[in-house]
Every structure is written in C-alpha cells, then in structure tokens.
Structure 1
C-alpha cells in the first residue's frame, strides 16, 4: 500500500481521460468524483475505476463528447438523456438542473436515461447539500441479486443516497447499496487478497462464501433480506423503467465490454427554504443530532457516529497524509500511464 496525494491522482486521471478523447471539463469532473470517493474512504468507487473508464472510452463504449440534453420537462420534473456519456458528467448536469429549478419551485427531480456508472452516489447528493438543499439519488446497476425467493440474477445493487446540510462542517450523508455490500467493495478486497465477511454473498451454487472471487461470480445478498429486495425493485422502477433506460437483466456490468451499460438514474433535491428558513432547519437538525449523540453506548462501542461522519473524518485524514492505494491498483495505473504515454504517477 502506497500513499499518493489527492492532487497527483487527480492530475493523472485528468490527463488519462483527455488522452482517450474526453474534454478537459468532463475529464476534470470525472477525476474529481473518483478522487473524492477515494478521499472519503469509498475506495471501491474511487481511483481504482480509472483504468476501466479509460478502456470503455477507448472502445467507444462511453461517448466522450456526449450531448446531454433535457428531453422534456413539466414543472419541476425533467427527463434527461445522457447520450451514453460519463455517468459523473451526466449526473452532475442533471442535478444542476434540479438545483436551479428547485430554487423556483421548492422541489425538483430528473429521470436520466442512456448513462453510465457514476461512482459514489453520495457525491451527487452532496451537490445539493452544498447549496443548502436536501439531495437524493437513485441508480440501477447490472444484475447482482435475484428476486426474493428466486435464483436468477435480476436486480442490481441499486444504491440510494441522500445528503442533508448541517452546521457541523460536513453534511449528513447516507449512501447505501440495497445489497449488503456494493459489488466493487468485494472487487477491491479481491485485489488486496482479503476474504469477505460471512453473510455478504453466496457462490453461484447458492452456498455461503467468504471468497471474493466466488462472490463476484455468484449472488450478492440483499440488505434486510426481503426488504432489501423491495428497495432494489423500487430503485429499478425509478431509475430504469421510468427513465426509459435499460433495466433488470439488460443493464451491463461496467466490466462487460460488449456494449454500453445503459444505466438509468433518478436524482433530485428539496429546497428547505420552501418549507422553513435554512437556519431554523439546521437548528432543529442540531437538536436531533444532540439526541442521537447522547445515546447510551452499547457494550463494545466507543462513540456514536452520524451518517457520513466516518467518511468526513477519513477525508480530513487523507487530505493530510495522502490516499492509500493498494499495490495492485498502483500497478494497473502504472500500466495505464505507460500505455497512454503519461508521466509516471508517483513522480508527477
């Protein structure tokens, strides 16, 4: 494991993406999302994904000059076509539209079709919280779990994210897959040669496994048993069915290079000022936080964390000390840099 400054990783990512046809603006957006995810400790959705994005772009599976457009809008609701662009760029533009419209109408949402993987959903939700609004994000993904009671992979990890502004110096952020764990967290553990905890996945024969490779080839378990399945189904409806994008078994894995992913998203935000003054909201939120933080501790627990607090703490630490990058990922980035003629990552 080597520590690399965030600025070095971001510069490397921008140059790599530009080399495969991305505009400088889009390259910066994607690089910022990847590095910010790594800074926050969401390594499975961070810089380790860069080689895959580059490969997909080079093969024409991501449109590096996508013409993202609002296809239709009614009041505070829009349909956005991503033109198979980078998911981070598509999602950001859609959330920007929602923020602008919510300033006028109080709430806004956008269904998004023809997009790609956008990394950590929380970063899109935080776009809204940074503007004093509550942001929410849903997205479908390639099949990772069967319907409850079935065995055929049909629904994705289908994450849900929500970000709320606070006076703590960081937003309250929920970002969770509807499976017990995101697929790329298992992939990250495989790269590090680690076993996965029991209860995360089954192998392709339906047997419990702690082998990450068997899990990736098998079944991810839903969070909360049948309840996780229900959440994943509804995320699929909002992101895939409603948007006109691909859904269910038709969505491709980010590591499937036979065609575009066809991912769909559903994003939006709530203008708090449309209900009460933002300062009043933050004051009331602080009262709830005080109640949560003052809870008696369970045996073995040292403190109560708020949603997103651990990620904020990790980000502050990594800004000081650098982002720890596994040796396997360093090798992949080095190979990418050599192939694309980039300056070596660790000497930028």
Structure 2
C-alpha cells in the first residue's frame, strides 16, 4: 500500500515537469510577481511530518497517520486549502474522542470478479479510501473494470487523491463520497445533502492528465471557513443563511445556514448540482449501505461515528478501443489551444490549475499558508504536545 500511495507524489513531480513544458501566460509563469508576502511558507516534508506527529500523539497507527498526512499535504500542495491542514483538527478530535478508530484495517464484506463491498470499520477516511481504490484497480487489471463501495468510512480528504492512483498507472479513476448534510436541495430551506464530490482522472501522454475534482455544491464548506478565518466575504451563489436566503457573510452559512448546489439558485440551474449530489448519494450512502443524507452526523460533532459511504471505480482503457491516451491528449490540446477571450488567461483543462500551483510552491520554497492558519496549527501543536511546524525563512 505504501508504494501505491507514494506513487501519487511521483505523479505530482511528473505533472510539475509537464507544466513547465506548457506555454503559460506571463501572469502564471512569473511566480515572483504573484507571491503574497503575507503568506507563510512551509516545506511539504515539514507539513507531512507535523501531521504524522499530531496523529500519532492521539493514538493513530504510524501507517494510518502517514496515509492521512500524504492526503493533506497533497491537498495543500495542489492548492485545495479547504482539505489540507484546515481539516487536521477535525481528524485529531475524532481520534481523541474515539469516534474514529485506528486499531483495525478495512475488510471486504463481499466481492465478485469486478466488484466489492468494503467495511471501513470506522477508520480514518484515507485508510479506507486507499484500501478500496487499490482493490478497484486490482479488479480492473483482471476484469477491465473494478468498482468498490465502502461503508463505515470517514472524511477522506481530496477525492482526486484516489482517482489519481488509477491514472498514475494508465487507467481511468473515479471516486465519490457523501458527506455531512451541508447543501440545501433546490427550493429547500434546510440542508439534507453533503458537498458530495465527484472526481475523474484520465491519463494523457508523457505524464499529462485530466483530473476533475469538484464538489456538487457550489463550493466545499472549507472554502467558506477560509473566508471566515481571513475575515472576507463570500460571493453570492455560495450559500444561504438559516432562512434560506442568499448571503455574502460566511458566518451566516456556518452558523445555521447551508451551501447552495452547484449552479446556485433554481433560475441559474442549481437543480443540476442538486441532481449530481443525489447521484453521489445513491452510489455512496444508499448503494454502500452507509448513512445517507440528513442521517449523517454533522461534521463537527463527534458524538457518534460518521459512517460515510464512498465509491471507487477503476477502468482499464485497454479493455476498450485502442489509443485512448492519444485521443485524450488530443482533446486536452484542443481545449488548451482554444482562443481565449482574455489573451492573458489561457484556456485550461481540469488539473492544470493544480499543476501551476505545485510548480509555484516548488519555485517559491514551500506551500503558502495564511498566518491565521499557522497560528491555529501552533495552538494545535501545543494542545497535543508536539513540536510546531518549522516555516521557511
């Protein structure tokens, strides 16, 4: 498993090499002119070590803490700060309260040639996710397609971490997870669905890939939290207050409000995001026999197990028409070469913004964090009696 997980770091390095070969607009190539001097930079290895120390201090197995650390570092490195260190305290609290376990390993409940149903045994989400995705990949190697559902899981970090495990070896990867109820259905006032992300990773040529990783709500709740921490407003279309009215105040969303579906209100096609959220719920909570919809605990509560449901799919393109990667590369090239409305903003494909962000982190010495988050992490370090992170001087 460790080899499979570390392969994602190999993928990241390869993607960075790729992005340096793609002609980027001046605004994205000249990182030095875009570096925010207020941000505090921390090297990837230091972030990983800090997460491992924190998790081991509250009883996590070494291997479980490492699996979580790799996912959180990947999230921040790729620019998805809502799912990196911003989430660490939640994992720590779940282990401290024994609502998440670290004394077992996931197990297979039942399986057929191309499918399996996994019991996550209330372990850390990345432990369950890595196990299930690797099982789906193995089945795809044997049968062309592998599909695995898991119950008894927890928050597993960025969904793309799992789909990339498949694309890294030339397969297509998909993953879905349900989450705590944070999203109102179209025309609804109270949240009954989670952010319910969808991811698809598809390999092109020479390390290039398409990596879609998106919430079915307008944004992940972590982005609202970040705006709250940074004391900035949120755009209209992100969320509603406790009365179901659109708001630009992140506190309204976090204190009794909810997220809107992808697309926003009904007039702007929010019902499509609502439908996608239901698609994920069907694959995860309902098909996997996990909790679903409003039956899932609120994500900040740790009075009971989350019992999240997740779904992992791997597809071997060799089982279908030959030449998949060539056609995939051509399609991405077509999109990227489309004439942009603004000449300074090149057309991108899913995965390009992350490649640009990773290259920026490398060129500027580390992952850039808001000072408020560094302060929160320093307090967490003190609370669990571990050394704080060392920042780049």
TM bucket (normalised to shorter chain) is over 0.9
SS where residue 3 of structure 1 aligns?
strand
Post-superposition offset of 1:215:
1.6
Report what 2:261 is aligned to: 222
Alpha-carbon offset, residue 301 of structure 1: 5.7
- CA positional deviation for 1:103: 0.4
User: In the TM superposition, what is the alpha-carbon distance from 1:90 to its structure 2 partner?
Assistant: 0.3
**Retained in 2: the 8 A contact 1:39–1:319?**
no
Deviations 1:52-99 (Å, cap 9, x if unpaired)?
211110110110123310100022110000000000110010000011
1:255 is aligned to 2:300: yes
Shift of 1:235: 0.8
Alignment-derived partner of residue 86 in structure 2: 48
Give the alignment partner of residue 333 of structure 1, picking from 377, 382, 386: 377
Question: Is the 2:140–2:315 Cα contact (8 Å) retained in structure 1?
Answer: yes
Instruction: Note the C-alpha offset of 1:173.
Output: 0.4
How far off its partner does 1:299 sit? 4.4
Q: Indicate conservation of the 8 Å contact 1:66/1:82, yes or no.
A: no
How large is the RMSD of aligned CA atoms in angstroms?
Answer: 1.5
Counterpart mapping for 1:131-280 below 5 A: 131-216=169-254, 217-224=256-263, 225-277=270-322, 280=323
Please tell me whether residue 71 in structure 1 is matched to residue 109 in structure 2.
Answer: yes
1:293 aligns with 2:336: yes
Question: Residues 258, 169 of structure 1: CA spacing in aligned structure 2 closer, same or farther, 3 A cutoff?
Answer: same
Contact 1:6 1:319 in 2 (8 A): no
Per-residue CA shift, 1:115-152, capped at 9, x if unaligned?
00011001111011111100001111111123222223
Secondary structure in 1 matching 2:390: helix
TM-score by length of 1: 0.96
Q: Distance in 1 between matches of 2:212 and 2:332?
A: 15
Which one is further off, 24-33 or 161-170? 161-170
5+ long unaligned stretches in structure 2 = 1-38, 264-269
Aligned residues: 346
Counterpart of 2:350 in structure 1 is 307
C-alpha deviation, 1:190, in angstroms: 1.0
Residues 1-56 of structure 1, C-alpha deviations (whole Å, 9 max, x = no match): 31111110101111111111111111111000001100000000001211221111
Asked if the contact 2:188–2:244 (Cα under 8 Å) also holds between the matched residues in 1, the reply is no
Aligned pairs (5 A) from 1:12-31: 12-31=50-69
Structure 1 residue 191, shift from structure 2 partner: 1.1
Q: Evaluate the alpha carbon distance shift between residue 214 and residue 168 of structure 1 in structure 2; reply closer, same or farther with a 3 A threshold.
A: farther
Displacement, 1:331?
1.7
Tell me by how many angstroms 1:308 deviates: 0.9
Distance 1:170 1:315 in 2: 14
Task: Output the CA distance in 1 between the equivalents of 2:85 and 2:178.
Answer: 21
Over 3 Å off, 4+ runs: none
**Is residue 173–residue 315 contact of structure 2 (8 Å, CA) maintained in 1?**
yes
More displaced 10-residue stretch of structure 1: 268-277 or 10-19: 268-277
Distance in 1 (CA, whole Å) between partners of 2:300 and 2:208 is: 33
TM-score of the superposition, structure 2-length normalised?
Answer: 0.85
Q: In structure 2, what is the Cα distance between the partners aligned to 1:176 and 1:326?
A: 23
Maintained 8 Å contact 2:173/2:313: yes
Cα distance in structure 2, aligned partners of 1:136 and 1:221? 24
Which residue of 117, 120, 135 maps to 1:82? 120
Distance of 2:354 and 2:220 partners within structure 1: 16
What is the rounded CA distance, in whole Å, between the counterparts of 2:296 and 2:78 in structure 1? 28
Q: Distance in 1 between matches of 2:237 and 2:388?
A: 40
Give unpaired runs (5+ residues) of structure 1.
none
CA contact (8 A) 2:203 2:328 kept: no
Aligned to 2:6: none
The CA deviation at 1:236 is: 0.6
